[in-house]
Amino acid sequence: MDGQLTAFTAVAAGMVTMPGADFAVVVRNALDSRRAGVATAFGVAGGLLVHTALAVAGLAAVLVAVPTLFGAVQLLGGGYLLYLGARALIAAFRRPAATSDAAADGTPAAEGTPADAGQPAAPLGTARSLRQGFLANALNPKAPVLFLSLLPQFVPAGQPALPRTLLLAAVVVAMALVWFPAVALLVDRLGTWLRRPRVARALQATTGALLTVLGGVLLAEVVLA
């Protein structure tokens, strides 16, 4: 039995399932629809594929060695997370709770209330959801550093590095392909409850705040560096 592979699998499982920007984006889009959530999940896995491929090819070392390039990726990643967080917060706070709750309960809206008040925005398309998941992960500048430092530790002495790192990279991507679609499907399964107006607003606000904080941290690291 390959003890190092087993240990790496456990480390990778903790790394993939740890709540963060990827988790928040998948949950946020899964609230929109099952298709949007699953597409976002596959986008996240695609971003991880890019990071692991860069680590295997050694290109991540270039990113780490060139501070200007690393800072540029941090700016892009932080800005994109702030953008997603702001959109989630706007969606959460501009939906009238009273009107939506009345509609959910089957209670007629008050006279003079616009017919479209409290209605959700247009559903996310598959391509847009896939792109959001991919960019949220691919623009994370800390991922290349993590994989560059982590993968070599699980290459046994005397073994060729390339086949082994390819295997380790495949383990990470495979876990992402299981975990994030599972999260999206669970959110959709609980959709009747999670999409109740007040609950949906709370989730939108929570994921929006999380994305905004994560984006702000990335930008602050660039400014304070």
pLDDT of amino acid 104: 41
Higher pLDDT, 180 or 80: 180
pLDDT reading at 118 higher than 50: no
What is the per-residue pLDDT for 179?
95
pLDDT at position 223 is 74
Main-chain phi, psi angles of 125, to 5 degrees? -80, 165
Higher model confidence: residue 100 or residue 160? 160
Instruction: Specify the pLDDT at position 56.
Output: 79
Write the CB contacts of 81 (distance below 8 Å, at least 6 apart in sequence). 21, 136, 139, 211, 212, 214, 215, 218
Instruction: Please give the Cα distance from 36 to 38 (Å, whole number).
Output: 6
Query: Is residue 184 scored above 50 in pLDDT?
Result: yes
Please give the mean pLDDT across all residues of the chain: 78
Residue 35 has pLDDT above 90, yes or no: yes
Dihedral, CA of residue 50, residue 55, residue 58 and residue 64, to nearest 10: 100
Please, which pLDDT band fits residue 127 given cuts at 50, 70 and 90?
very high
pLDDT of 60 reads 63
Tens-digit pLDDT profile for residues 45-84: 999 998 888 887 776 666 667 777 777 777 877 787 788 7
Q: Confidence band (pLDDT; 50, 70, 90) for 101?
A: very low
Question: First and final CA of the chain: distance in angstroms?
Answer: 44
pLDDT at 106: 44
152-175 pLDDT tens trace: 778 777 777 778 888 988 999 999
How far is Cα 80 from Cα 69, in angstroms, rounded to an integer?
17
Which pLDDT belongs to residue 122?
61
What ranges make up the beta strands (E) of 9-77?
none
Distance between CA atoms of residues 194 and 95, nearest Å = 15
Residues 6+ apart with CB under 8 A from 138: 46, 47, 50, 51
Burial class (CB in 10 A: 0-12, 13-18, 19+), 102: middle
**Could you tell me the two tokens for 203?**
């989730």
What is the pLDDT at residue 19? Answer: 81
**Comparison of pLDDT for 105 and 7, the residue scoring more:** 7
Share of the chain above pLDDT 70, in %: 82
Global confidence as pTM: 0.70
- Taking the C-alpha atoms of residue 225 and residue 222, their distance in angstroms, rounded to an integer, is 5
